[in-house]
Structure 1
Amino acid sequence: MQDCLDRIATRVRPLAKRGRVADYIPALKCVDPQRFGLAVATLDGEVHQTGDSMEPFSIQSISKVFSLVLACNLVGDELWQRVGRLPSSNQFNSLVELELNQGKPRNPFVNPGALVIADLLTSRHTQMERAMVSLLRELSGNSTIDYNMEAAAGEFATAHRNKAAAYLMKSFGNFHNGVDEVVGAYCAQCAITSSCRDLAVAALFLADAGTHPITGRQVVAQQQVRQICALMMSSGTYEVSGETAFSIGLPIKSGVGGGILAVIPRFGVMCAWSPPLDDSGSSVAGLKAVELFAVKMNKTVFA
């Protein structure tokens, strides 16, 4: 497998020049666009990696997978009274559908949906972002994972659209805590830094019916794993999720920090990192790396 990853890295690295780093987030616009990492963690405890796979990066919306796990454990199916389960044809920070749906976000992976989950977690945790960090530390085995305070502050200072979404949802009764408090916690959640290796290991429970194969912990119920992976498939790369499902055929979550997290059921988890993004906010080289691996290893949920 190591030779496969090395070959994929060599092939996809040049694709980064087709994308653009997310310059609308202060902490991301200075990231070296040439960085590239790739890691595959398997259920037998092995980790295969290449490139900058141990370099921490801003996980951004990949964090939404783990906040969704916390929310599912806290309230179960009650969550779906406040957040939908439908794909969206709009960008991840759009307010249009939120107005039309009377304050109920389309799914947990668009920003309004993630904000509702952050609101729910804020009601249960004094510091929601610390609960997120604790979960990732436990699942990855890396006690140094944390969020970047400077990056979080920079995101909060420019979080006008997220605050607008929160106020709009509050006007419909679907947002219960203070807007600044929740948006601040959400920005800290997105500013968590982790590596490809650590994210791949942390998410292994999604490939093993909710049980983490290394820690032995039942992280989430099997039914909830099916729900989370279904949402990753239908909404994990926002408005192009259908195209991603067509070309790759795996549950995937992207983040504007350049990370791509892909679940390979009953096999393992793959994480790629390359900062330059396509127009929908997903890593150009990262998505291609996952696609090439899925084809080479014949890994898809559809066959």
Structure 2
Amino acid sequence: MDLQAIANDIVSRMESESDRGKVANYIPELAHVDLNKFGIAIAPIEGEVVTAGDADIPFSIQSISKLFALTLALKRVGATLWQRVGREPSGTAFNSIIQLENERGIPRNPFINPGAIVVSDVLLEGRQPDEALEDVLGLCRRLSNDETVYVDDKVAASETLTGDRNRALANFMKAEGNLREPVDRVLEVYFQQCAIAMSCRQLATAGRYLCAAGQPAGGEDSTVTPERARRLNSLMMTCGLYDASGEFAFRIGIPAKSGVGGGVLGIIPGVASVAAWCPGLDRNGNSRLAIEAFEELVRATGWSVFGPLVPPRRSQT
């Protein structure tokens, strides 16, 4: 299979798309990102990373960081985490407060904002915010085998300035007893974690541990067990693209995690990790063209966990 030719063809197709979505302008620093950017990287379990387009330009990974933070939280507290965060799809917006109120401060899953804030609280407990953040940043650097992965301070400041809804979510959970550390310190970790910047190449490389039973390329790592990698993949499949997770599973059929910076990380268990990026978002907050790119990739490779995709027919059920 010629992955380079497939990646090049996907980039060519995406360049011709006129409807590229809209940037996440509610985070002012993200409003300036060029809608014409598009990159893709494919990282097989073994072998060289295949890239095309703008695959080496760093972008704000935003909610994709929740995957790495969750990995560390599970290592730190194990299954007791699920006493504070659920494992079910939300069916509502990623920053919904209505659902949180109905369920007495227990977030539906760790990939919506309140769930990720609880994960940040777990990482922070008994430590300073910079220590907790360094754990997440260090894991991203280690898994990507690249020490240049960094926190974009301008994006972090932009999120802090406009993060009142996340403060509301955090304060509600604090009132319900589901945050243990001070709200401002928890959100400091959360905002800076979301501002981690990575390229498609770095992100796809970092994701290899989830397609390789928990083990990154180059040797063993105690961060995640094979069983936990399987569970993380299952959460990505059911919850990784917010309330569009079911549609993504239906159309494409791989575990994936998106972020409002325009990135999508997809995992094909036992095969490869893939990252695609275009900053324009659809109405669900997912990159419009990155999702299209994954559909093209799965159709070209047959990599869906449910079986190969076929060209669309005039009538489908």
1:3 matched to 2:34? The reply is: no
* Counterpart for residue 110 of structure 1: 112
* Counterpart for residue 63 of structure 1: 65
Of 267, 283, 288, the match for 2:287: 283
Of 195, 202, 208, the match for 2:199: 195
How many equivalent pairs are there? 303
The alignment yields a C-alpha RMSD, in angstroms, of 1.1
| Gap regions ≥5 residues in structure 1 | none
* Counterpart for residue 234 of structure 1: 238
Of 84, 88, 92, the match for 2:94: 92
* Counterpart for residue 144 of structure 2: 140
Offset from partner CA, 1:16-41 (integer Å, 9 cap, x none): 63410110001100001101110000
1:149 matched to 2:153? The reply is: yes
Range that drifts further, 113-122 or 224-233? 224-233
Counterpart residue identity of residue 202, structure 1: A
Offset from partner CA, 1:140-185 (integer Å, 9 cap, x none): 1111111011210110111101000001001110011111111111
2: CA distance between counterparts of 1:100 and 1:15?
41
Counterpart residue identity of residue 137, structure 2: V
2: CA distance between counterparts of 1:53 and 1:125?
35
| Gap regions ≥5 residues in structure 2 | 308-317
1:255 matched to 2:259? The reply is: yes
**Is 1:247–1:291's contact at 8 Å kept on the other side of the alignment?**
yes
Counterpart residue identity of residue 43, structure 1: I
1:293 matched to 2:297? The reply is: yes
* Counterpart for residue 41 of structure 2: 39
What TM-score do the two structures reach when normalised by structure 1? Answer: 0.98
1:245 matched to 2:243? The reply is: no
* Counterpart for residue 101 of structure 1: 103
Offset from partner CA, 1:84-136 (integer Å, 9 cap, x none): 00101111001111001110000000000000000110115422111111111
2: CA distance between counterparts of 1:274 and 1:13?
11
What TM-score do the two structures reach when normalised by structure 2? Answer: 0.93
* Counterpart for residue 167 of structure 1: 171
1: CA distance between counterparts of 2:22 and 2:40?
19
Cα deviation, residue 77, structure 1: 0.6
Q: Which runs of 4+ in 1 moved over 4 A?
A: none
Counterpart residue identity of residue 237, structure 2: M
Of 26, 29, 36, the match for 1:27: 29
* Counterpart for residue 183 of structure 1: 187
Offset from partner CA, 1:237-283 (integer Å, 9 cap, x none): 10111000000000010000000100011011000000000000110
1:54 matched to 2:56? The reply is: yes
2: CA distance between counterparts of 1:166 and 1:92?
14
